[in-house]
Chain A
């Protein structure tokens, strides 16, 4: 797997820490809206072992319209600052807009995380142009920043597979390095809770495609609705879903909490026989 200037072997798992440059995202509610606070958050997640930061300038939920100019103002200079301070860190930017993607790639972004399923068809060309990676998500074709409303699928996993693989093939056709394409079923995006649970349960069908799979589960509504818990009390449920996805072979985990997620993924990866224990002497001395 190649993400911009960074190469990873096929058995590596990666923590992608969320860094919001927004005043209104659902989990942190503007805690890193100030640039220095966001920079502190980068330092924290790097110290916690995150390999990737995912910098976003627009919250996913509906709200005040943020145009491309304002989105660029929020993220472009910040990407440059992080790039300069952390040359070994993979920088991802959560955007669906090609215009924003081009500006952040020029400042050293490695990965374009298109959470909205290719809403801007030119984004893949930007990734190709800059040698960046791209995350191809499934949203069922909904408009960016809209909530799902009475969306139904005969088979949500089949739909996700069809859309994601088509998107991935479109990216490669546009010139993106096949090693730089990542797929994401996009839990909660264009999906109700039953859909997200089914995607989790059947995640092995996505990993079987051979494309590296990213999962974004952290504190999402499908966890909250399943356990009847508000934001802030969803870590245990998030980690349970993380374990199921890890067993199925997901490679990248987009997270708010790096350390517990890393521990769960490492544990499951070892249970699956894909990672050696850190140190084993019990019964072997």
Chain B
């Protein structure tokens, strides 16, 4: 089964309730995520497939085996009131709804987590273009090694999106920005006619 509806949200831990402070440093991003995931869950109340990169090996070594992207997806779906099945696309599960948890580089400025790497601009631009054009083939061209060097650990999730989804017929970019030197998108795709 190919997905008919796709949502992309970032894997920022700041979205998790366990890291909430008194004020929300990602309020605008969170609002966009909430709207997109509510849209997805509302259209597919029984089954949403989740695509997220595996947990980073260094975090696994620290005892955190569950990927942050999976936790972000579960939280956003819970906030959206979703009570259906969570399908793990990484183990071959399929659904008409696909929630992809991925962001771009984290090296977009001197205060970015990974400091400034000028290659980030081109790398993120290629993802941005593919998402805005609903172009899964372009996502399949992403270089995971370059992504790792730019502190983007979500390339495997974007590659999966490229493999799983057909070209989008309509695209909505609800959010695009890099408020902390990390490139985020919140995007909805509708695939097929």
Question: Which chain A residues have a beta carbon within 8 Å of chain B's beta carbons?
Answer: 276-281, 283-285
Residue of B whose beta carbon sits closest to that of A266: B22
| Distance from A12 Cβ to chain B, minimum over Cβ atoms (Å) | 13
Q: Which of A278, A281, A284, A285 contacts B22 (CB 8 A)?
A: A278
| Distance from B162 Cβ to chain A, minimum over Cβ atoms (Å) | 25
Asked if residues B19 and A284 are in contact (CB atoms below 8 Å), the reply is yes
- From 174 to 189 in chain B, residues with beta carbon under 8 angstroms from any chain A beta carbon are 179-182
Interface 1/0 per residue, B17-33 and A, CB below 8 Å: 00111111110000000
Chain B at the A interface: SS class: loop
Query: How far is it, in angstroms, between the C-alpha of A191 and the C-alpha of B21 when the chains are bound?
Result: 41
Q: Which residues of A contact B19 (CB under 8 A)?
A: 280, 284
Residue of A whose beta carbon sits closest to that of B68: A284
Q: Which of A276, A277, A279, A281 contacts B180 (CB 8 A)?
A: A281
| Distance from A278 Cβ to chain B, minimum over Cβ atoms (Å) | 5
Query: How far is it, in angstroms, between the C-alpha of A277 and the C-alpha of B24 when the chains are bound?
Result: 11
Query: How far is it, in angstroms, between the C-alpha of A168 and the C-alpha of B187 when the chains are bound?
Result: 60
| Distance from B20 Cβ to chain A, minimum over Cβ atoms (Å) | 6
Is B50 located at the chain interface by the 8 A CB criterion? Answer: no
Asked if residues B12 and A284 are in contact (CB atoms below 8 Å), the reply is yes
Q: Which residues of A contact B26 (CB under 8 A)?
A: 281, 285
- From 96 to 126 in chain B, residues with beta carbon under 8 angstroms from any chain A beta carbon are 106, 113
Q: List 7 A-B contacts (CB under 8 A).
A: A276-B21, A276-B22, A277-B22, A279-B22, A279-B23, A285-B106, A285-B113
Asked if residues B25 and A279 are in contact (CB atoms below 8 Å), the reply is yes
Query: How far is it, in angstroms, between the C-alpha of A284 and the C-alpha of B12 when the chains are bound?
Result: 6
Q: Which of A276, A277, A279, A285 contacts B12 (CB 8 A)?
A: A285
- From 6 to 64 in chain B, residues with beta carbon under 8 angstroms from any chain A beta carbon are 12-14, 19-26
Query: How far is it, in angstroms, between the C-alpha of A283 and the C-alpha of B56 when the chains are bound?
Result: 14
Q: Which residues of B contact A281 (CB under 8 A)?
A: 14, 25-26, 180
Asked if residues A285 and B21 are in contact (CB atoms below 8 Å), the reply is no
Q: Which of B13, B23, B179, B181 contacts A284 (CB 8 A)?
A: B13
Q: A276-B20, A281-B26, A285-B106 are in contact. List 18 more A-B contacts (CB 8 A).
A: A276-B21, A276-B22, A277-B21, A278-B22, A279-B21, A279-B24, A280-B20, A280-B25, A281-B14, A281-B180, A283-B13, A284-B12, A284-B13, A285-B12, A285-B26, A285-B180, A285-B181, A285-B182
Q: Which residues of A contact B182 (CB under 8 A)?
A: 285
Query: How far is it, in angstroms, between the C-alpha of A285 and the C-alpha of B10 when the chains are bound?
Result: 10
- Most chain B C-beta atoms within 10 Å of own C-beta, residue among A277, A281, A283, A285: A285
Asked if residues A278 and B106 are in contact (CB atoms below 8 Å), the reply is no
- Most chain A C-beta atoms within 10 Å of own C-beta, residue among B13, B21, B24, B106: B21
Q: Which residues of B contact A278 (CB under 8 A)?
A: 21-23
Query: How far is it, in angstroms, between the C-alpha of A277 and the C-alpha of B18 when the chains are bound?
Result: 12
Shortest 9 CB-CB distances between A and B: which pairs? A285-B180, A284-B14, A281-B25, A280-B21, A277-B21, A284-B13, A278-B22, A279-B21, A285-B182
Residue of A whose beta carbon sits closest to that of B113: A285
Query: How far is it, in angstroms, between the C-alpha of A277 and the C-alpha of B14 when the chains are bound?
Result: 13
Query: How far is it, in angstroms, between the C-alpha of A280 and the C-alpha of B19 when the chains are bound?
Result: 7
Query: How far is it, in angstroms, between the C-alpha of A242 and the C-alpha of B129 when the chains are bound?
Result: 55
